[in-house]
Amino acid sequence: MPQSLANIYIHLIFSTSDRQPLLTDDIRPSLHSYFGQVGKTLECPIILVNSVEDHVHILHRLSRTVTISKAVEEFKKSTSKWLKSQSPNLANFSWQSGYGAFSVSESNLDSVTAYIQNQREHHRTKSFQDEFREFLTKNKLSYDEQYLWD
């Protein structure tokens, strides 16, 4: 086959460093839009971005020419640099070093989209750490709690 094709969706999750509540209501819409620009540049189009004060969820297609780690690196690097330029309060902003990337089938896009859209409501009763542990367990990923957080 001379043509290379891919249809891979990724649900990407990562937090601010030390889960600091730095993603305020006034910055989030612009941040989400900026993630969209980065995704477009990477040819990893964003389906949906949503965040709360201490972490972000991104649903995107993965380009057939970009690795997950490269996409994450570019999303974090670009948005971190952009956030630092937005306010003196964000001058030392950084994302956590780790991330979670979970595959999403075409048939589950609607449910994952709904989940991401409802982050504010979801986090009224559940911390980011508890949510992330549930994702790891649901996706049968083993982990060492000692190295999970930074």
Report which of 18, 73, 23, 86 is spatially closest to residue 44, judged by C-alpha positions.
73
pLDDT digits (tens, 9 = 90+) for 52-77: 999 999 999 999 999 999 999 999 99
Segment 40-59 shows an average pLDDT of 97
pLDDT at residue 148 is higher than 90: no
Q: What is the pLDDT of residue 1?
A: 57
Decide: 34 and 78 in contact? Cβ < 8 Å. yes
Domain ranges in the chain are 8-143
Does the domain made of 8-143 have the CATH classification 3.30.70.1290?
yes
- Report whether pLDDT(14) > 70: yes
The CA distances from residue 133 to 5, 34, 54, 110, 115, in Å, are 33, 28, 16, 22, 16
Q: What is the reported pTM?
A: 0.91
